[in-house]
Chain A
Amino acid sequence: MNTINLGMAVVLAVLYSVGFYLLLQRSLMRILIGIVVLGHGANLMLQLAGGPPARAPILGTAPPELFADPLPQALALTAIVITFAMTTYLLALGYRSWVLVGHDEVQDDVEDRRIAERERPEGSMADDTAATGTDDEEDPGSAAASAEPAGTGVAQ
Chain B
Amino acid sequence: MTTLVTLPVLLPILGAALTVIGSRSARLQRLVGIVVLAAVSVVAAVLLVAADRTGPVVVELGGWPAPVGIVLVADRLSALLLLISTLVTLAVLVYAIDQRITDYGRDTASTTFHPIFLLLSTGVSLAYLTGDLFNLFVAFEIMLFASYVLITRRTSASRIRSGMTYVIISLTSSLLFLSTIALVYAATGTVNLADLATRVAALPPGLQTVLALMTVVTFGIKAAIVPLHFWLPDSYPNAPAPVTALFAGLLTKVGIYALLRTQTLIFPQVGPSTVLLVIATLTMIVGALGALAQNDLNRLLSFLLVSHIGFMLFGLAVFDARGAGGTALYVVHHITVQATLFLVSGLITRRTGTVSIDQMGGLAQRAPFLAILFAIPALTLAGIPPTSGFVAKLALLQAGADGGPFTRIVAGVVILASLLTLYAMVRVWIRVFWGTAREPLPDADPADELVVGTAATSRPMYAATSGLIVISLTIAAAAGPLSAVTGRAGTDLMDRLPYTTAVLR
A–B proximity contact (CB within 8 A): yes
Known A78-B138, A101-B157, A112-B234; contact A23-B183, beta-carbon cutoff 8 A: no
16 pairs, A vs B, C-beta closer than 8 Å: A28-B164, A35-B171, A38-B175, A41-B179, A42-B179, A49-B182, A85-B145, A86-B145, A86-B171, A90-B167, A93-B163, A96-B155, A97-B160, A101-B160, A106-B164, A111-B234
Inter-chain CA distance A35–B185, complex, in Å, is: 22
CA distance A94 to B162 in the complex (A): 13
A115 and B162 CA atoms in complex are apart in Å by 16
Q: Are A93 and B167 in contact (CB under 8 A)?
A: yes
Within 8 A of B (CB), among A15-64: 19, 23, 28, 31, 35, 38-39, 41-43, 45-46, 48-50
Which B299-323 residues have C-beta < 8 A from chain A? 299
Closest 9 CB pairs of A and B: A49-B186, A45-B182, A42-B178, A46-B182, A49-B185, A100-B157, A109-B234, A49-B182, A2-B186
A152 to B165, CA, bound (A): 22
Residues from chain A with a CB closer than 8 A to the CB of B160 are 93, 96-97, 100-101
Known: A1-B187, A90-B167. A35 touches B293 (CB 8 A): no
> Looking at the complex, which one of A4, A23, A46, A90 makes contact with B178 (CB distance below 8 Å)?
A46
By the criterion CB–CB under 8 Å, are A72 and B157 in contact?
no
Is B474 interfacial (CB-CB < 8 Å)? no
List which B272-302 residues lie within 8 A (CB) of chain A: 293-296, 299
- Chain A min CB distance to B499 (Å): 22
Q: Is the CB of A109 within 8 A of B165?
A: yes
Residues of the B chain whose Cβ atoms lie less than 8 Å from the Cβ of A97: 160, 164
Q: Which residues of A contact B148 (CB under 8 A)?
A: 89, 93
| B141 in contact (CB, < 8 A) | yes
Q: Size range of the interface on B?
A: 35 or more
Is B178 a contact partner of A79 (Cβ separation < 8 A)? Answer: yes
Interface size in chain A (residues, C-beta < 8 A) = 42
Q: A117 to chain B: closest CB distance in Å?
A: 12
**For the complex, what is the distance from the CA of A46 to the CA of B182, rounded to whole Å?**
4
B186, A111: Cβ atoms under 8 Å?
no
How distant is A30 from chain B, measured CB to nearest CB, in Å? 11
Chain A nearest CB, measured from B171 CB (Å): 5
User: What is the chain A residue whose CB lies nearest that of B184?
Assistant: A49
Cβ of A134 < 8 Å from any Cβ of B? no
> Which residue of B155, B167, B230 has the most chain A CB atoms within 10 A of its CB atom?
B167
Closest to B164 in A: A106
**Bound CA span A82–B134, Å:** 12
Among B133-152, those with CB < 8 Å from A are 134, 137-138, 141, 145, 148-149, 152
B155 touches A100 (CB 8 A): yes
A107 close to B (CB within 8 Å): yes
Residues of B within 8 A of A (CB): 134, 137-138, 141, 145, 148-149, 152, 155-157, 160-165, 167-168, 171-172, 174-175, 178-179, 181-183, 185-189, 191, 203, 230, 233-234, 293-296, 299
Cβ contacts under 8 Å, A42 to chain B: 175, 178-179, 182
CA distance A73 to B203 in the complex (A): 24
Complex Cα distance A43/B181, Å? 10
Contact B183 A106 (CB under 8 A): no
- Contacts A28-B164, A106-B165 known; A1 to B294 CB distance under 8 Å? no
Instruction: With CB as the reference atom, state the residue of chain A lying closest to B180.
Output: A42
Nearest-neighbour CB distance to chain A for B476, whole angstroms, equals 34
List 6 other contacts, CB 8 Å, given A1-B203, A35-B171, A75-B191: A1-B187, A39-B175, A42-B175, A45-B183, A46-B185, A109-B230
CB within 8 A of B164: which of A72, A93, A115?
A: A93
Complex Cα–Cα for A43 and B175 (A): 9
Does any Cβ of B come within 8 Å of A119's Cβ?
yes
Contacts of A82 in B (CB 8 A): 138, 141, 174
Give every chain A residue within 8 A of B155 (Cβ-Cβ): 96, 100
B-side contacts of A115, CB under 8 Å: 293-295
> Closest chain A residue to B156 by CB distance?
A100
The answer on a CB contact under 8 Å between B157 and A48 is: no
Given contacts A1-B186, A107-B161, contact A119 B293 (CB under 8 A): yes
Contact of B186 among A48, A89, A107 (CB under 8 A): A48
A124 CA / B157 CA spacing, docked (Å): 34
Kindly provide the distance from the CB of A65 to the nearest chain B CB, expressed in whole angstroms: 16
Question: In the assembled complex, which residues on chain B have CB atoms less than 8 Å from the CB atom of A35?
Answer: 168, 171-172, 175
Cβ of A109: which chain B residues have Cβ within 8 Å of it? Answer: 162, 165, 230, 233-234
B134 pairs with A78, CB closer than 8 A: yes
CB-based nearest A residue for B292: A119
Residues of B within 8 A of A72 (CB): 182, 185
CA distance A38 to B176 in the complex (A): 9
